[in-house]
Structure 1
Amino acid sequence: MLKRLFSGPVGWALTAVVVAGVLFGGYWFQPWKLVTDDVVDESVPVVQAPAPTPDATPSPDATPDATPSPEASPSVSPSPAGNQLLASGEFVTHEHETTGTAQVIQLGDGRRQLVLRDFATSNGPDLRVWLSDQPVLEGQAGWFVFDDGQWAELDRLKGNQGNQVYDIPADVDLAELTSVSIWCKRFSVSFGAADLTA
């Protein structure tokens, strides 16, 4: 029966339809990504911690008119060339288990970057890194919300595992976009997300 079905002109047409369906399904779902990992390990910026504020209480041995030398004065703020941590948050799992830390860092030259540290999620088709104005909700309630409001796409996800860095364009308003999602653009679903808290 099958031999007769796939023979002759009708058979060739059916064969072509089946092959096209298999190729399209492979392209659309990319099932091999479920069993493969793309690992990256980019150099991430170091955040300079502010120096501790010196104790303002004078020492009992200090004389009232003694002036400390410039060399003895401790610094109370980061160097202008230092990097500053603006916001951070831990990833929560949405459609796929996702772990790691997201950080927004302002570099000494004024540029801003999103850093994913110790990051891990499942591989998948058409994954993007989005900043969004949507709150991060636990569980299935948070899977589909990130394209509901404002969002900015930083780039394709470089890898589903490892440390990675994404530049944030100067026109992105971080006061409005306060969460990050690993967004599967093909199926409009979040793999995982993190609130970015100052």
Structure 2
Amino acid sequence: MRRVRKALTGPLAVGVLVAAVAGVGFGLYWFQPWKLWQDETVQEALPGAVATSAPPTAAGKPSAPAGTPSPAGPQTRASGELISHEHATSGTVKLVRLADGSHVVRLEDLDTSNGPDLRVLLTDAPVKEGRVGWHVFDDGEHVSLGRLKGNKGSQNYALPDGVDPARYTSVSIWCDRFDVSFGAAELARA
């Protein structure tokens, strides 16, 4: 018994302790478990959706209700409801054409878990329920629209110049670190 105690108090014990501390430090960096309890809420208005009152008609009454967007304003081209994959996820996804001709992916009422390295992907992959749908979104053609701004709220993600939105059929909240979808929505054309 004395021999075992002596071996554990020498250089071997120091080496095991250093390896354990390094392993815990790497695990905390890689998994970032505290993010599961931290929510980031982001509330952005839709670009170009400015509520203005309509000009009055000859009778002095507004020609349209206040806040009605003009026909040249933002137009929803496709939309879908988020389904859960690796983490419980809900909300609405819209592909919106702005008055200037550019497009944004809009997440409305998003509610998902926070996590390390979350991205918004516009993809051509089909949305599949269950575990079979967790890993498909980076297999085909996809465009990363950037880091997820917050795991709750309503947010806008601009499509880069030259991206044809008609080529893509779904949106995923994608964890780039673990190559897994937190949730996804199939885009149904309006």
When the two structures are superposed, what TM-score results if normalisation uses the length of structure 2? 0.82
From 164, 168, 181, the counterpart of 1:190:
181
Letter in 1 for 2:76: L
Structure with higher strand content: 2
Q: CA RMSD in A?
A: 2.4
Q: Distance in 2 between matches of 1:41 and 1:135?
A: 28
Percent identical residues: 53
When the two structures are superposed, what TM-score results if normalisation uses the length of structure 1? 0.79
Which residues in structure 2 correspond to 1:1-198 (within 5 Å)? Answer: 4=6, 7-45=9-47, 46=49, 78-80=70-72, 82-198=73-189
Structure 2: runs of 5 or more not aligned: 52-62, 65-69
Structure 1: runs of 5 or more not aligned: 49-73
Q: How many residues align structurally?
A: 172
Structure 1 residues 195 and 189 mapped into 2: Cα distance closer, same or farther (>3 Å)?
A: same
Pairwise CA distance, 1:16: 1.2
Q: Distance in 2 between matches of 1:176 and 1:96?
A: 27
What secondary structure does 2:164 align onto? coil
What secondary structure does 1:171 align onto? coil
CA offsets 1:35-69 (integer angstroms, 9 cap, x no match) = 22111112224399xxxxxxxxxxxxxxxxxxxxx
